[in-house]
Structure 1
Amino acid sequence: MTTDLEALGQAIKRAQYRNHRAMDAALRPIGISLVQWDALRAIARMPHASGHDLAVATFQSDQAFGTLAARLSDAGHITRTAGRGRRLEHSLTPSGEAALQVGHEIAVDVLEDLFAPLDEADRRNLATVLTALLADVH
């Protein structure tokens, strides 16, 4: 019997949607969304990166990331400084670093709940399979 690839793709999408909703709900009390927290994570990993590089890292368009960065700047979580040419470079502020850290603590609980149905061997296997699936993605 052949695996129904459409159903498999839909199952991956449902798991991601469940994760996104759970993380959004858990982060709401600290005043940030999953998209904002993901941007903070990307900025922490890539300090002084351009908006374009951060947009690519967070799966957003340049315009969407620019709007998001403006909101994070207005909230005092990041700074945007002039780089070469028209490039804006992004850095976390102490407020952004604090939100990022609390977000990490929240993520641990959310992800433990999300992956609770799987034992450690299943989690390792899932990680291996997803890594193989994404190996050739550019």
Structure 2
Amino acid sequence: MAVELQILGRAVKAAQYRQHRALDSRLASVGSTLAQWDALRAVGRAPGASARELAAATFQSEQAFGTLAGRLVAQGLVDRRPGHGRRIEHHLTPEGNRVLKAGHVVADSVLEECFEGLTEPERAALLGLLLKIEGQPGG
């Protein structure tokens, strides 16, 4: 029996939607939203990255990331510093690092709940299949 691709696509989207709603709701407890925490995570992974690089890492347009980064700067979570040429580099502040770390604890809990119905081999298989779809090694 062939799998209907629209049903498969919707199931992937539904799982992502459930995960994002839970993350966004629970990240409020550490003073963040999912979009903010994801941006902090990207800056934490690549200190000194440009807005263009961070936009790509967070699946946003440069304009949307620039607006979000401006809010993070205003909240004292990110510093923007001049880089080479016209490049503006992004770095976490100590408070940004604290929120990022607190968000990791929340995310680990939420994701454990989201995937609790899968065994470890099923989780590994799902990850491998998703990486394969994305064209990444290991998939």
The interval holding the TM-score normalised by the smaller chain is over 0.9
Matched, 1:124 2:99: no
Q: For residues 16 and 27 of structure 1, what CA distance do their matches in structure 2 show? A: 16
Which residue of structure 2 aligns with residue 5 of structure 1?
A: 5
- Greater shift after overlay, 83-92 or 105-114? 83-92
Which residue of structure 1 aligns with residue 57 of structure 2?
A: 57
Q: For residues 42 and 89 of structure 1, what CA distance do their matches in structure 2 show? A: 12
Aligned length: 136
- CA displacement, residues 47-79 of structure 1 (integer Å, 9 cap, x when unaligned): 101001100110000000000000000010010
Task: Give the unaligned 5+ runs of structure 1.
Answer: none
Secondary structure of the residue aligned to 2:90 is strand
- What amino acid does structure 2 have at the position aligned with 1:89? E
TM-score by length of 1: 0.95
- CA displacement, residues 64-102 of structure 1 (integer Å, 9 cap, x when unaligned): 000000000001001001123332110000000000100
Alignment of 1:17-56 (within 5 A): 17-56=17-56
Runs of 4+ in 1 over 4 A off after TM superposition: none
Which residue of structure 1 aligns with residue 68 of structure 2?
A: 68
Q: For residues 29 and 75 of structure 1, what CA distance do their matches in structure 2 show? A: 16
Q: For residues 85 and 18 of structure 1, what CA distance do their matches in structure 2 show? A: 42
Q: For residues 117 and 102 of structure 2, what CA distance do their matches in structure 1 show? A: 25
- Greater shift after overlay, 77-86 or 29-38? 77-86
Identity %: 51
User: Following TM superposition, by how much is the alpha carbon of 1:109 offset from its aligned partner in structure 2, in angstroms?
Assistant: 0.6
Which residue of structure 1 aligns with residue 83 of structure 2?
A: 83
User: Following TM superposition, by how much is the alpha carbon of 1:15 offset from its aligned partner in structure 2, in angstroms?
Assistant: 0.5
TM-score by length of 2: 0.94
- Name the Cα RMSD after superposition: 1.0
Secondary structure of the residue aligned to 1:80 is strand
